[in-house]
Amino acid sequence: MQKILKEPLFHFLLIGGGLFFLYSFLNPSAEQLDNNIIRIEESDVTRLVKAYQQNWNAPPDSATLKSLLKEEIKAEVFYREALRMQLDHNDEIIRRRLKQKYEFLVKDLADSQQPSAAALQTFYEANGNLYKERVKYSFSQIYFSPDKRKKPLEDAQVVLAQLKNSPATTIDNKKIGDNFHLQNYFAERDYNDVRQLFGQDFSKAVFANKTTGWTAPIRSGYGIHLVNITAIQAASVRSFSQVKEKVEADWKISQQQLYNEQLYKNLLEKYEVEYDLEKWGKE
């Protein structure tokens, strides 16, 4: 008995029981939740079965299903007791999650709306920037490695002078430069594509050229490159027929934002908001 009294677990249970008793004593009128009945509906079982199938690609057997139900009941018991103790109060994570769930209700409403063809056309015309094709460059590159050369920049400049006096059809990029872990030719890449591959400085240098042809040596995080711009595709706006599905998706997102703003405005009218920023030197 004395050994049990010294166990940390016993102390934890004793303190926990005391807290529950104290809370019940101080809050005799705490709201009762659903008269302590836990009812597992068929929809709950279906949800558990589906979740198990998604994780294991097979339905649960009888024993597994009973185990899943046991965990579901345990979660519900702890959830209800946590609510009785108001453990959800002043919890930022719970506040954020409930806010999201409330907004999801509005999202479902927006998703259920079916816009007319005229509404989509109007939205498309008012938001043309969303459907622009960016400027795209096609180019080849010859790599000069600082690990394999003492003076990669000078070597690149020498090769560039030779290339400008040679027919393009006689140039074999792979034989001229050093091995590179990426390909030598890149077709129709926009600024962000190139930046992700070579870095911002390289991308800026390439897109600063407005004509095709060989550029001066360009530095990247990998080393030195000679770049031959073979084609420049100008920016353009995709036609409505090309982006109709995206227009509809964007329209629904905009409607959701409108619904959220209007709902918040209406709900805020029910509250009186008080705060004082004088302590922080702000009005």
**CATH number of the domain enclosing 143:** 3.10.50.40
Query: Does residue 281 belong to any structural domain of this protein?
Result: no
Number of domains in the chain: 4
Average pLDDT over residues 87-110: 80
Average pLDDT over residues 248-255: 89
255 C-beta neighbours (distance < 10 Å), count:
19
Query: Does residue 280 belong to any structural domain of this protein?
Result: no
Is 97 in the same domain as 229? no
Confidence of residue 27 (pLDDT cuts 50, 70, 90): very low
- Maximal CA-CA distance, the chain: 97
Is 122 in the same domain as 248? yes
Is 179 in the same domain as 248? no
Tell me, what's the pLDDT at 217?
96
Tell me, what's the pLDDT at 172?
65
Range list of β-strands (E), 166-283: 185-189, 213-214, 218-219, 224-233, 236-237
**Tokens in use for 29?**
């009128």
124 C-beta neighbours (distance < 10 Å), count:
22
Residue 148: name the closest of 113, 110, 125, 180 by CA.
Answer: 180
Is 146 in the same domain as 213? yes
Is 229 in the same domain as 160? yes
Average pLDDT over residues 15-19: 44
Q: Which domain does 18 fall in, by range?
A: 1-25
pLDDT tens per residue, range 169-225: 556 666 788 999 999 999 999 999 999 999 999 999 999 999 999 999 999 999 999
Q: Has residue 92 got a pLDDT over 60?
A: yes
**What's this model's pTM, rounded to 2 decimal places?**
0.49
Is 192 in the same domain as 221? yes
Query: Does residue 139 belong to any structural domain of this protein?
Result: yes
Query: Does residue 278 belong to any structural domain of this protein?
Result: no
Query: Does residue 193 belong to any structural domain of this protein?
Result: yes
Query: Does residue 283 belong to any structural domain of this protein?
Result: no
Is 35 in the same domain as 101? no
Q: Has residue 166 got a pLDDT over 50?
A: yes
Contacts of 217 (CB under 8 A, 6+ apart): 144, 153, 156, 157, 160, 224, 225, 226
Is 108 in the same domain as 142? no
Is 148 in the same domain as 215? yes
Query: Does residue 63 belong to any structural domain of this protein?
Result: yes
Is 166 in the same domain as 152? yes
% of the chain with per-residue pLDDT over 90: 40
Is 245 in the same domain as 112? yes
Query: Does residue 263 belong to any structural domain of this protein?
Result: yes
Is 144 in the same domain as 230? yes
